[in-house]
Amino acid sequence: MKEQDQRQTRFQSKAQQCGICYNAIENQGILDSCSHSFCSDCIKKWSNIENTCPLCKQKFTQIESKWKRVHYKSHKISKRKCKQNKIYVKDKSQSQKEDQLNVLLEILIEFILADIND
């Protein structure tokens, strides 16, 4: 029975470890596509570069943030309900296409305006 308890403890501690910074998860950020969780700050920074899960590589479009507010009153700790936020993540391949289109539109507008002025 001890061996099973040790395995379960190891599994639980790994499950609570951020796959990006490898520290204990703080202010949990959960991906909509695969439900993997990371530190909210870590996955937000990751999503600025890539919108695929660092663990399983599934694309995600949303990060649900959960954190607990802790109050200290006369040496007692009371936890309130989890506060939740959702962050929507833009598909990086889509934003690159949009950037390219915007550049082309700017060139086209300059070309048209130059034609009108001549």
All domains of the chain, ordered by start, with CATH?
2-90 (3.30.40.10)
Pairwise CA distance, residues 69 & 100, whole Å? 43
Six token digits for residue 3:
């061996």
At residue 89's C-alpha, the angle toward residues 88 and 91, to 5°, is: 140
Cβ atoms of 54 and 38 within 8 Å: the answer is yes
| Residues 34-90: tens digit of each pLDDT | 999 999 889 989 988 888 899 999 988 888 887 654 444 333 334 444 555 666 666
Largest separation between any pair of C-alpha atoms in the chain = 87
Three-state DSSP class for 78?
A: strand
| Residues 74-95: tens digit of each pLDDT | 333 344 445 556 666 666 666 6
pTM value > 0.85: no
Pairwise CA distance, residues 113 & 103, whole Å? 15
